Structure 1
Amino acid sequence: MAAQTVLVTGASGYIAAHVVKAFLKKGYNVRGTVRSEKTAEEVHKTHSKYAEQLSVAIVPDMAAANAFDEAVKGVDGIIHTASPFILNATDFEKELMQPAIRGTTSILEAAQKYNPAVSRIVVTSSFASVLDPTQGQRPGYVYKEADWNPITVEQANSNPVMAYLASKTFAERAVFDYVDANKPNFTVATLCPPMVYGPIAHSVADVKSLNTSSGDINRLIDGSEKSVPDTSFHAFADVRDLAEAHVLAFEKPEAAGQRYLIANSAYSYQQICDIIREKFPEQSELTPKGDTGAPLPPAYRLDTTKAATELGLKFRPLQETIVDMVNSLLKLHH
């Protein structure tokens, strides 16, 4: 039997690079979408070990009409990771809503119209579409897959963070609404990770061009933070575990029509700083000390039983994630 081919959108991204690698390692052929020839070269370079299994399709603007019509032809499945993670947008509609919602629905439309062979589409959503941002820390509350962010369009337009949370929520809703309304041949599964950390696998020119979550940890090793920041999301996912979750959600029949919370554990920036100071003593001048060993603040938790039991996912501990991530960030510093 010939190897299956999966399309991975936004293949040059932080999460997508690990997703591409996870599929290539399992013997799949991967077609990645990128915005330009230059990015296409970077993606080929990142995965040079699997040159025979990897091809690239250029999609300059995923919110454009018919953006994915060509890219979806001849593939067996689609992994849609491309969606903006921007917490400081100014034009919410143009920077967040349109690419997130239109980008998602246009790939579903293209698959239904041009490729009846697509069996499963896995969409990278976010804990942003599960969390109720009006409830704050919510100590004692346990979020499950049945929870949806109740954000309204009016609230979405109130500030950049709310706009980001809304873009993920509306885009994920659009996936399930599309399937309900159009009854395509394919089934869908969505994955909802919180903050995503772990080593960098994609091509990054320098520290200035880091993605949001890598920049989030980089500030704890480069001396720019003098004190331990407040923790804004109370759970993280390791990017490698999340990549593995995409493969499993694509392969497992029981993932059809499901959404999964993908989270390794709760964490705090204090714990991250403790790990960095302990494991990288040479960085300790640059990493804020704070209150070493302080317990986690009382806050909501995420129930990841479903991903563990249905997908068979195992999660790495925070220390492994942070050590591997810091090692990859330090390479960029030199």
Structure 2
Amino acid sequence: MKKVGIIGGSGFIGSYITKQFLKNGFEVKVSTTDITREDKYEHLMALNNTENLYISELNVENKDALKDFVKDCDLVIHSGTPFQLNVENPQKELFDPTIKGTENFLEVMNETPGIEKVVFIASVAAWNTDFPMPAGEKKDTDTFDENDKRFFSEQSHPYAQAKYIAHQVVEKFIENNPQPHFEITTVSPVMVMGKSLSKREDSTSTGVQFLIKNKIAPDAFFQTLYDNDVAFTVVDVADVANATFKAATTPGLHGKDYLLTSETYKVSDIHEMLNHHEPKNNPQIVYKNDLAKNDLGAQFRPVKETLNNY
């Protein structure tokens, strides 16, 4: 039985990834930042095959703890970088754990001989830091796929900048280590929505859906979304987990970075669907998912189905 280590495996996306690996007969080791906070991982105990599930405390910035966490793993999924929109200290809350954490992680992976595959859960922000706005000179309706040039702006949200720079760290590692003993594959989901497996109320992804459902604007960013009826590209959390599992268990994908994406709707239509009403407009295809479909056999359900599950 192979063992997978899932950093952030009790989070919004990570929980579905944990579920997928347990379902497919893996031993699964999940990290949590605080083992005393059972509310962060108790929902995992309701999954099938939990006799193969292990919970371990981990601070990804602690290299010794990270070495101990991955030492007996065949596969490692890194889903442990913070998704934070309300930030007081970007350096401490986002840049250090995301960028330095990625550097430490890759160094440890390189020193751990038994690892066969590493999958990074990145973000569409690694392709376009202005998401959900168009990248650079593109228009709202222009499509975007893995053949497009990545776009970075210092005016973008610190979270987006951190994810972009972290991906640069991965690319630099691949360039400097042309024949590592393990494969690295990255998946970059757009706005991930759907039903949470946990009952936690501090999930940013669940919180974003709650705010849009109720048209609450806690800050200028959300007010701008409503005022301009910004278009969002959405992907289902379960589809992200399925694609991640495929990326982890399919050989020959070293250095690939897959956009995980479904349809694009204006935020007003997302509000309607979160309230189980019909959208007023038809969906658009902006971010494309052809590469993930072709290489991973990934499937992406319609956004209406995702939001009706919330």
TM-score band w.r.t. shorter chain = 0.7 to 0.9
Residue equivalent to 1:283: none
Q: 2:231, 2:56 → 1: CA distance?
A: 34
CA contact (8 A) 1:194 1:233 kept: no
Residue 190 of structure 1 aligns to a residue in which SS?
strand
Structure 1 runs not aligned, ≥5 long:
281-291, 326-334
CA contact (8 A) 1:130 1:143 kept: no
Residues 1:257 and 2:221 are matched in the alignment: no
Residue 261 of structure 1 aligns to a residue in which SS?
strand
Residues 1:147 and 2:139 are matched in the alignment: no
Residues 1:116 and 2:113 are matched in the alignment: yes
Q: 1:191 aligns with which of 164, 187, 191?
A: 187
Where in structure 2 are the equivalents of 1:41-52 lying within 5 Å? 42-48=40-46, 49-52=48-51
Judged with a 3 Å threshold, the aligned counterparts in structure 2 of structure 1 residues 57 and 275 are, in CA distance, closer, same or farther, namely same
Where in structure 2 are the equivalents of 1:175-190 lying within 5 Å? 175-182=170-177, 183-190=179-186
1:173 is aligned with what amino acid? Q
Give the deviation of 1:46 after TM superposition. Answer: 2.2
Residue equivalent to 1:96: 94
1:215 is aligned with what amino acid? G
Q: 1:72, 1:91 → 2: CA distance?
A: 30
Residue equivalent to 1:320: 305
Q: 1:274 aligns with which of 263, 272, 275?
A: 272
Residue equivalent to 1:26: 24
Judged with a 3 Å threshold, the aligned counterparts in structure 2 of structure 1 residues 66 and 213 are, in CA distance, closer, same or farther, namely same
Query: What is the root-mean-square deviation of aligned Cα atoms in Å?
Result: 2.5
Of structures 1 and 2, the larger Rg is shown by 1
Structure 2 runs not aligned, ≥5 long:
218-222
CA contact (8 A) 2:129 2:157 kept: no
1:23 is aligned with what amino acid? F
Runs of 4+ in 1 over 3 A off after TM superposition: 39-42, 64-67, 146-150, 220-225, 230-233, 276-280
Residue 255 of structure 1 aligns to a residue in which SS?
coil
2:119 is aligned with what amino acid? V
Residue equivalent to 2:57: 58
Residue 313 of structure 1 aligns to a residue in which SS?
coil
Give the deviation of 1:253 after TM superposition. Answer: 1.5
1:105 is aligned with what amino acid? E
The TM-score with structure 1 as length reference comes to: 0.81
1:97 is aligned with what amino acid? F
Judged with a 3 Å threshold, the aligned counterparts in structure 2 of structure 1 residues 104 and 193 are, in CA distance, closer, same or farther, namely same
Q: 1:41, 1:54 → 2: CA distance?
A: 16
2:106 is aligned with what amino acid? L
CA contact (8 A) 2:21 2:28 kept: yes
CA deviations 1:138-180 (Å, max 9, x no partner) are: 234221123354426xx2xx5xx53111100111111121122
